[in-house]
Amino acid sequence: MKIAIVNGANINMLGKREASEYGLDSYDDLKKMIDEYCKKENIQYEMYQSNSEGEIINYLQSLYEEVDGVVINPAGYTHYSVAILDALKILRCIKVEVHISDIEKREDYRKISITKDGCHKQIKGKGFLGYIEGIEYIKRCVYEKNKN
């Protein structure tokens, strides 16, 4: 199984921004946690982060028919990027939107997710463990698909 983990704007600044929302762990801590989990579960993965909407779209397009699933945290692009939504809809794989904080308990403008409509599932408010839950969801979906 091969998956991609895609992170949007400012996720690279974890540990330095809004600790009350995102905690004190860094982006490197997130990468390490995902790496350890994927190695243990024998899952091939790529991890990608960009602060540029266009680069995220280009990356998503490059995944077409290349991965079994995508875990995406579009970050600030969640709330307005129809272009990222469209790129997600193009992909035929399982897609999970993840948010470290619970966007529904934050500012009004953060409660709206445009991009979730391009995903099979949304996970919010579970910290870094939301990424693992997203990977596990993809794993179960791929297993069920291959079983049939």
User: Which one of 45, 77, 99, 137 is the catalytic residue?
Assistant: 99
| List of residues 6+ apart from 95 with CB closer than 8 A | 69, 70, 72, 88, 118, 119, 120
User: Which one of 22, 45, 59, 137 is the catalytic residue?
Assistant: 22
d(CA 40, CA 142): 17
22 catalytic residue (yes or no): yes
In whole angstroms, how far apart are CA 4 and each of 18, 50, 144? 26, 13, 19
| Residues with catalytic function | 22, 99
